[in-house]
Amino acid sequence: MNRLRSGLLSLLALIGPGALTAAESKPASSAEQKFEAIQVGSQTFSNVTVVGRSAKQITIMHAKGVASLKLDDLMPDVQAKLGYDPANSGGKEKGLSLSKTFSAQSERAREARAKADELLQRHAATLGLVAAVGLPLFYLFCCFCFLKICRKAGVNAPFKVWVPLLQFDPLFKAAGMSRIALFWFMSPLLFAAWAALFVLIASFAGTALDLFKGPKLTMFVGGLQGLLSFVSLIVGFVWCFKICIARGKRAWLGIFLILPLINLLMLCYLAFSAGSKERRRTGQLKLA
């Protein structure tokens, strides 16, 4: 029997080191389980002795030789005798797989955050310098474009175009829009400033909290702010089309002043291109 077992172990070594390890991992006296027959699909193995086992398969000696069988392919009664539960084993393996996946994703996310933080710290001074220099230059360039647009539309405002908020006055005048339209365009900002001033004064009087305790007043203020913002948006859209007309361009080009990023190119086009004096003088809305 010992010679036979040695020969079988040598055969298992040829089949694969995993099978050899499984067979040698337990002594024959304690690990071997015997079955008269085991059926796997259309194959039937007789005089079966289990000589090795791993998490997913068993190694058996049978009447015709040696074989490795997957535990999931065995009949339920054989699985039960071997102490194998497919449901628990599958769930455990799935849980371990998901846990490993989440752990790997978390590790990659931590590495990405660490690299981003390191890159930001490395170039923080450069980014700060670019922002400190670039943003003022960008604002001055936009103001210069406003100045060119106003002058080509027949409005001379050499000072106001450089001042925040005041620059809207000559721009609306260049588009042929009244200061009433400008008021509605600025109404959300004016209302927010008025509300902030009101709360500040009321806080000194000790009545600010009492005034804003009721939900109705909060809803009223929020709703009014939203309405004014909508009106301001409509007025802004009208200005986009009318400033194109004032510059002697087609009215539909105002669409490009609404689109982000493209509006910067359109601003340069209105500032530096030549326009039709006839259309600017008559102010006719031509859509084609």
Helix (H) or strand (E) holding 23: helix 17-24
Report which DSSP code applies to 252: G
Q: How far is residue 194's CA from residue 203's CA, in Å, rounded to a whole number?
A: 14
Residue 43 has a pLDDT of 84
What does the DSSP assignment read for 260-278?
Answer: TTHHHHHHHHHHHS---HH
Contact yes or no for 12/66 (Cβ under 8 A): yes
N-terminal to C-terminal alpha carbon distance within the chain: 101
* Beta bridge partner(s), residue 57: 70
Contact 228, 185 (CB under 8 A): no
Helical ranges in 123-274 per DSSP H: 124-152, 168-174, 179-205, 208-211, 215-246, 255-258, 262-272
* Homologous superfamily (CATH) for 2-84: SLA1 homology domain 1 (2.30.30.700)
* Rounded CA separation 255/184 (Å): 21
pLDDT of residue 246: 93
Q: Distance between CA 6 and CA 252 in Å, rounded?
A: 92
What distance in Å separates the CA atoms of residue 31 and residue 80, rounded to the nearest whole number? Answer: 16
- What pLDDT sits at residue 253? 92
Phi, psi of 65 (to 5 degrees): 150, -140
Which H or E element spans position 60? strand 57-62
pTM of the model: 0.53
Closest CA to 189 of 158, 229, 141: 229
Residue type, 85: D
CA distance linking residue 257 with residue 99, whole number of Å: 51
Report pLDDT for 18.
Answer: 46
Let me know if 192 is exposed, middle or buried by CB neighbors in 10 A (0-12, 13-18, 19+). Answer: middle
Structure tokens at 95: 């849980």
Find where tokens 């337990």 sit. Answer: 26
Distances (CA, A) of 244 to 161, 223, 252: 18, 33, 8
Q: What is the pLDDT along the chain (288 residues), one digit of tens a residue?
A: 445 455 554 444 444 444 444 444 444 444 578 888 888 878 888 888 888 887 778 888 888 888 888 888 888 888 888 877 776 655 455 555 556 666 777 778 888 888 888 877 877 788 888 888 899 999 999 999 999 999 999 898 889 999 999 999 999 999 999 999 999 999 999 999 988 887 787 777 666 556 556 677 778 888 899 999 999 999 999 999 999 999 999 999 999 999 999 999 999 999 999 865 544 444 444 433
3-state secondary structure of 57: strand
Question: How high is the pLDDT of residue 178?
Answer: 94
